[in-house]
Structure formats: C-alpha cells, structure tokens
C-alpha cells in the first residue's frame, strides 16, 4: 500500500528537500472559510496538511489551538462536517496528503468502523490521535492500517530508546517528533537539540521524521528543516487567522490571505533549508 503521504515524501527526498507541514483547525472560524483556507495551503507551499478535529478537552494543545477548537465548535463544526470538508477539498486536489489530528473521543462516539470507512472515502490519508498510546493499538491504529490509512505516532523528548520500539511498531507515513516537553505554542524549538533527537530516532526507523511544536518563523522552520525530514507549523498559522477576525470572532476579507501569506513565507524558509545545509 502506497499512500499520498508515502508518495509525497518520496518526491521530496528525490528533490533533496524537507517537507513543510501545516496545521489548521477544521471549521475555524466557520466551515466555508476553513475550506477556503485549506484549499489555499498547497498553493502557498504546504506539502502536507494536518487538519485538527475540534474537541472540547484537548490535552496537548496550547491556548491558541484550544481557542481555535472552541471557535470551530461554536460555529457548529462536527467530525462529520470535518469529513465533508475533506471531501470538498478533494474535488480540486487529489494529491496533497491530508492528515486528521486530534483525540480519540469524537472518533469513538462516531464509531471506529464507520469513521474509518467514511474517512477513507472522503480522502483522508492518515491519522494523528494524540491520546492513544501503543498499548491501545487494537482500538484504532490496527483497524486504520487495515483500512489503508497511515497511523502517525508522536515521539517526544521523554521517549527514550527503551520506549521507542513500542512507539514505532505500527507507525506509518512519518514520525511526528514533538520538539518540546509541553503544549503547542509554549516554547521555541532548539534546532541543535532537535537534530540530536532526530538522529537518535533515525537509528530505529526508516520513516521520515517531521518536527513540530515551537516553530513559528521562516527562520525557525528553516533551521528545523535542516535537521529533519519536515517542519510542522500550527500555532503561528492559527494565530494569524485569529488576528484577522473581527471583534465578534468572525472571518473578514483578510482571513484567508493572512494564513496563506504566512504559509508562503514559512514554505520559503523550509525550501531554502537544504541549500543552507550544503
């Protein structure tokens, strides 16, 4: 089985550069604007899109992404509508890898088998489910792999060599390395520390390793891209969106462009990484 994620990373490896992975919250600030933003991301330079599933109790997300989830929920966003957004995105783009990122509760309530069938049909390529450890692989990970979806696992600064094999056992697509011990948007990633961590993880897997948490600027995206197979940016894009909203938290004429322009700047940083490293 070769997914869009596998294909994209193979293309990037051949081109000699790292991936730029963007994260936005589905339905933030409303479904129509969110779809326009997701459609704009590949044109602005995103290689892979992570789409957040709105949830009331996100344990790994900092204030910015928590607020984005609450805005989406207030606007009526649901997991079913998230899959509709993916389906609408696929009408015009059948190549950009799209990963759903979130928590298990909404999927459990939806029904695992129904969710996996609907996600595959909609055009989802992979899942990052923050609160399902390897010990719970039978819940969703194994069924997802059987359904043809990548299951992308998180590794963190506290994931030691003893724990890594369990984390990597059923991981596919890529490994998401969390650069800091904490929540999203809480601190800046240290490229040198990240480089050591990536090298250590690569001793255990041939999968691409993408690094997220703590990357906010083109410069930091570039520095991380020189050490890893991809840079993931979420909070900075969510903040750009939030800063474009009106006083009532509604989208304005600036909203889509605000996210697209920052995406383009960050993408340039990532795409310049290998040249800087050589």
Out of 28, 30, 47, 50, the active site residue is 50
Burial 176-197 (b: 16+ CB within 10 A, else e): bbbbbeebbbeeebbbeebbeb
11 classed as catalytic: no
Q: Are 56 and 77 in contact (CB under 8 A)?
A: no
Out of 6, 28, 47, 61, the active site residue is 61
Q: Are 28 and 255 in contact (CB under 8 A)?
A: no
Strand partners, 49: 22, 98
261 classed as catalytic: no
CA within 13 Å, CB half, 191: 18
3-state SS assignment for residue 78: coil
Give catalytic residues, as residue numbers: 50, 61
């Amino acid at each position: 089985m070769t997914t869009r994620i596998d294909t994209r990373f193979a293309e990037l490896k051949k081109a000699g550069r790292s991936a730029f992975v963007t994260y936005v919250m589905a339905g933030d600030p409303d479904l129509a604007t969110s779809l326009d933003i997701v459609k704009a991301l590949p044109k602005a330079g995103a290689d892979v899109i992570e789409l957040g599933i709105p949830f009331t109790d996100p344990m790994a997300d900092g204030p910015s992404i928590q607020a984005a989830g609450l805005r989406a929920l207030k606007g009526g966003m649901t997991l079913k509508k998230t899959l509709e957004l993916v389906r609408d995105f696929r009408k015009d783009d059948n190549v950009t890898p799209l990963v759903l990122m979130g928590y298990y509760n909404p999927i459990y309530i939806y029904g695992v088998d129904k969710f996996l069938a609907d996600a595959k049909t909609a055009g989802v390529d992979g899942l990052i489910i923050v609160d399902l450890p390897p010990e719970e692989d039978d819940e969703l990970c194994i069924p997802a792999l059987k359904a043809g979806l990548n299951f992308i696992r998180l590794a963190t600064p506290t994931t030691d060599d003893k724990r890594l094999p369990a984390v990597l056992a059923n991981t596919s697509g890529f490994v998401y390395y969390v650069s800091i011990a904490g929540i999203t948007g809480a601190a800046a990633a240290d490229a040198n520390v990240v480089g050591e961590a990536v090298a250590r993880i690569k001793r255990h897997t041939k999968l691409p390793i993408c690094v997220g948490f703590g990357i906010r600027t083109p410069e930091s995206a570039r520095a991380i891209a020189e050490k890893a197979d991809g840079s993931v940016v979420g909070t900075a894009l969510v903040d750009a969106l939030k800063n474009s909203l009106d006083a009532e938290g509604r989208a304005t004429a600036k909203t889509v462009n605000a996210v697209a322009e920052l995406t383009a700047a960050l993408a340039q940083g990532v795409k310049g990484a290998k040249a800087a490293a050589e």
